[in-house]
Amino acid sequence: MTGKLRSHHEIAIASIHVFTDDGRLDLAELEKLLALAVRDEVVDADEKRVLANILTRAERDGVDPEVLARIVEVRRQYGFD
């Protein structure tokens, strides 16, 4: 292993700040997580799994309407729930 984190690990680590900061995912945080996933122009199965878990938790904990709308769009765009 080269020491470089796989992107789904980076997404998971970045999400820790989201839930330890104020406990709620905001739009900027969501876009940052998505940018990590799409930087190679492919959202792979591991990235989808990690993102789906993050989005599910965010929805459970409550998000603003604009964030919820973006979550719905992301789920549809990348084909995961």
Mean pLDDT of 46-59: 96
Neighbouring C-beta atoms of residue 12, cutoff 10 Å: 20
pTM of the model: 0.89
Tell me the pLDDT band of 80, cut-offs 50, 70 and 90: confident
Burial 20-47 (b: 16+ CB within 10 A, else e): eeeeebbeebbeebbebbeeeeebeeeb
Q: Give which of 60, 54, 42 is closest to 11, Cα–Cα.
A: 54
More confident residue, 68 or 4: 68
> Would you call 31 helix, strand, or coil by DSSP?
helix
